[in-house]
């Protein structure tokens, strides 16, 4: 199998910034309560005329800044907040960016969806050699019950993107480049922990936390072991930005305290499927992810699903 990795990233966050002071009263809490329990100080909400597809297109355009869209073999969009049941968001992205030769489809694995999309893209690129655009976009602000303190203070809107494509083969004797493996799991017996009910997002927060801390660390360890590594080898850990307190506990429980862990949850809140993608893009553009780094991506949430991917970062020649 040819070496396949992430060759470009992008993201887009709406302009409207919503602070804790604006949400606290309706949720029956104080701004200090929100910050202490979530480590979130602000989040972004889509404008009235701004759709999930709009966010997805903006993130895709940034990821394609130096890539010809006509070269794309597929466009995959991960979202659980599509604007309409059909057409898929991916065809809107295809049309907007000019990816005229790409096949398009959406995936919905909620907050794990971006990693699920990367796993699909890796296999598609390995088969055809053509790059694949993976976009994750969610607009949760329109399904929040702002009187529900368990959810209203956590979520924001945003989109992130990655182009998956062939990466240079490593020199003889050097560590493999690109994706080293994926771990994708679902537990439908716990599907009721996160749901949309009567038009509003609902979550059983305590049970979700228990699921994450119980199930995610062994999934990450199993993935690393299959690739011939331990979690102590990881240089950069990018988990789903569900809650600032939770991701800290997760890193400690998994033994990833020594890895660099970029964060965006403090400024953007939980942006659903886009969470890992947005954080990866910011880390990439800030130079926090370097050529040769062992990078671990981890999504988890509704389903209940876990999606983890391990890759050896292969920077493009001009970035080295």
Which of 74, 104, 240, 284 does the annotation list as catalytic?
240
Choosing from 20, 243, 270, 284, the catalytic residue is: 270
Is residue 104 within 8 A of residue 121, CB to CB? The reply is no
Which residue blocks in 129-273 are alpha helix, DSSP H? Answer: 205-226, 244-254, 265-268
Select from 63, 61, 59, 91 the least CA-distant residue to 75. Answer: 91
DSSP assignments along 26-44, one per residue: HHTS-HHHHHHHH---EEE
Q: Are 125 and 7 in contact (CB under 8 A)?
A: no
Stretch (H or E) spanning 309: strand 305-312
Please answer whether residues 3 and 170 qualify as being in contact, where contact means their C-beta atoms are separated by less than 8 angstroms.
yes
Residue 188's Cβ-side half-sphere holds a number of Cα atoms within 13 Å equal to: 0
Q: Which of the residues 111, 229, 243, 284 is marked catalytic?
A: 111
Assess whether 270 carries a catalytic annotation. Answer: yes
111 is catalytic: yes
Q: Known catalytic residues?
A: 111, 240, 270
């Amino acid at each position: 199998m040819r070496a396949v990795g992430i060759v470009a990233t992008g993201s887009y966050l709406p302009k409207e910034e919503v602070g804790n002071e604006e949400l606290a009263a309706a949720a029956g809490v104080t701004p200090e309560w929100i910050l202490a329990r979530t480590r979130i100080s602000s989040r972004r909400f889509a404008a009235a005329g701004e759709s999930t597809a709009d966010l997805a297109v903006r993130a895709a355009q940034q990821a394609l800044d130096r890539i010809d869209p006509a070269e794309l073999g597929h466009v995959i969009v991960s979202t659980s907040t599509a604007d309409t049941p059909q057409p898929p968001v991916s065809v809107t992205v295809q049309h907007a960016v000019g990816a005229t030769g790409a096949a398009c489809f959406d995936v919905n694995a909620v907050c794990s969806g971006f990693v699920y999309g990367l796993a699909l893209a890796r296999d598609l690129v390995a088969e055809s050699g053509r790059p694949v655009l993976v976009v994750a976009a969610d607009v949760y602000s329109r399904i929040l019950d702002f009187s529900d303190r368990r959810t209203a203070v956590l979520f924001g809107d945003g989109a992130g993107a990655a182009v998956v494509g062939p990466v240079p083969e490593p020199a003889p004797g050097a560590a493999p480049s690109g994706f080293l493996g994926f771990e994708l799991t679902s537990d439908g017996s716990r599907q009721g922990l996160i749901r949309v009910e009567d038009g509003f997002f609902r979550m059983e927060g305590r049970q979700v936390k228990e699921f994450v801390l119980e199930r995610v660390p062994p999934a990450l360890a199993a993935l690393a072991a299959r690739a011939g590594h331990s979690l102590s080898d990881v240089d950069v850990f990018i988990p789903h930005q569900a809650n600032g307190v939770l991701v800290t506990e997760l890193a400690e429980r998994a033994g990833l305290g020594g890895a660099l862990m970029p964060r965006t949850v403090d400024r953007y809140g939980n942006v659903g499927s886009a969470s890992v993608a947005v954080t990866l893009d910011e880390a990439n553009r800030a130079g926090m992810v370097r050529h040769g780094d062992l990078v671990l991506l981890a999504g988890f949430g509704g389903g209940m699903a876990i999606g983890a991917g391990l890759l050896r970062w292969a920077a493009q020649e001009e970035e080295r």
